[in-house]
Structure formats: C-alpha cells, structure tokens
Amino acid sequence: DAGVTQSPTHLIKTRGQQVTLRCSPKSGHDTVSWYQQALGQGPQFIFQYYEEEERQRGNFPDRFSGHQFPNYSSELNVNALLLGDSALYLCASSSTSGSWNEQFFGPGTRLTVL
Amino acid sequence: AQSVAQPEDQVNVAEGNPLTVKCTYSVSGNPYLFWYVQYPNRGLQFLLKYITGDNLVKGSYGFEAEFNKSQTSFHLKKPSALVSDSALYFCAVRERGATNKLIFGTGTLLAVQP
C-alpha cells in the first residue's frame, strides 16, 4: 500500500513565477491538507480539501490556491512567487471515517524561489 | 487560540541515556496531542498521540509521552537513546472543530552522541 506521494521532490523557480505541486493521498483517504514548513520552523497549515472543496484555510494569501480531484488527489498552486515562499511543502491525507482521522504525511516538495 | 511550545531548540544526549523532549500546550477544553519525527529530507512520521485515557502514552520506536494536565505538558521520553533517534521532533495539537488541522511547535533537534 503506497503512502502519501508528492511530486516533484524539488523545484527551483524565480520570483514572480507560478508553481503547481501535486499530492496523491494514501489509499482509502478522502481528505487532503497542505502545510508549509519554512526553514527552522514547524509546519503551518495552508488549507484542507474534502469532497473537492476547500474546507478550511489558514493564514495564507490568495496567491495560494488548491484543487482536489474526484480521485482525491490534490494540487497546490502558488502564483506570483516571493522569496519567502521558499519552503518544504507537505501534503497530509486522512479519512473522514474512523474515530480520530489521523493525518499521514508525504515526503514533501522542497521549493526554492530565487 | 490553541498553541504549542517547544522550549528547547536542541537536546543533546549520550547513547544509552534517557531522553526527554519538552512540549507545553495551550488549549481550551480537552486537548488532542501528537508527536511527529522528521528525518533529513523526509516528511513527518507519526510517533504517538494522546486523545484520552492513560496519561502515559506508548508509541513507535520505544518512545512514550506523559500527559500532565495540571502542568499543560506533553513531554516525549525514551528510556535509552539510540544514535538513530537523532532527528527533528515536533509536538502538535489538533485544533478543535470540523477539521483535523494540526498546530505544530517549532521543533526540537535531538542529537544523540555515540
């Protein structure tokens, strides 16, 4: 059983560009959350998708947007990249069934903005 | 607002000695608390959780954590440290509400010397 997968593993962009990161959830999971982990910091919640809709959003600007597909996979899009967007982006999946819906994390995509 | 604090940026311990990584929390109501570990260039791996019940929680790789409601703490412990335990450890609290959003501390780097 494959766990949470993310692509690409690394990405280098320049300021002002746009980027798309992808996530495939663990088999049986229907909910995807995205977190940003800046260097030396803990992960910060960006947003969560369930049933192809954004269910909750953290304190991130509208430049950050997402999408969830019918197969539960998800994309994170960031427009007009800033140097401060350089970070490890983590995807976590969970299932709405179960008593406390534990989140399983992927290996992350490391984004560098030059 | 819910929050988690990890007061130590780094903990150094000799192999074979007991280790403690500290975490305190601030929540309204009963907390759902978690510990995750992150190895270099890897995502987060779940170690253990406290939802309810016994204050001493046992988790993966011989780790355990003690929930102390009066001190609002959830310290991670292991009786005998291994060099392979060297990694970045994050304490997290699950935000109350419809989603399972996690709020993370800033992390503690555990260095186990041979």
| Closest C-alpha among A39, A38, A56 to residue A47 | A56
| pLDDT for residue B98 | 65
Nearest to residue B62, comparing CAs of B83, B47, B43, B41? B47
Residue scoring higher pLDDT (A17 or A2):
A17
**Cβ neighbours, 10 Å, residue A39:** 7
For the segment A70-79, the average pLDDT, to the nearest whole number, is 97
pLDDT category at A1 given cuts 50, 70, 90 is low
pLDDT at A99: 56
Tell me the mean pLDDT in the region A96-112: 84
Closest CA–CA distance from residue B72 to any residue of chain A (Å) = 20
Which ranges of chain B have pLDDT less than 50? none
Contact list in B for residue A42 (CB cut-off 8 A) is 90, 92, 104-107
Contact A43, A36 (CB under 8 A): yes
State the average pLDDT for chain A. 93
- How close, in Å, is residue B38 to chain A by CA atoms? 10
pLDDT of res. B66: 95
Inter-chain residue contact B44 with A58, CB threshold 8 Å: no
Q: Which residues, including other chains, have CB under 8 Å from residue A2's CB and lie 6 or more apart?
A: A24, A26, A27
Q: Do A90 and B104 touch (CB under 8 A)?
A: no
Q: Which of A44, A90, A94 is closest, CB to CB, to B43?
A: A90
User: Nearest CB to B44: which of A6, A48, A90?
Assistant: A90
Six-digit token string for B8: 């130590």
CA-wise closest residue to B72 among B22, B18, B36, B1: B22
Check residue A100 and give its pLDDT.
Answer: 63
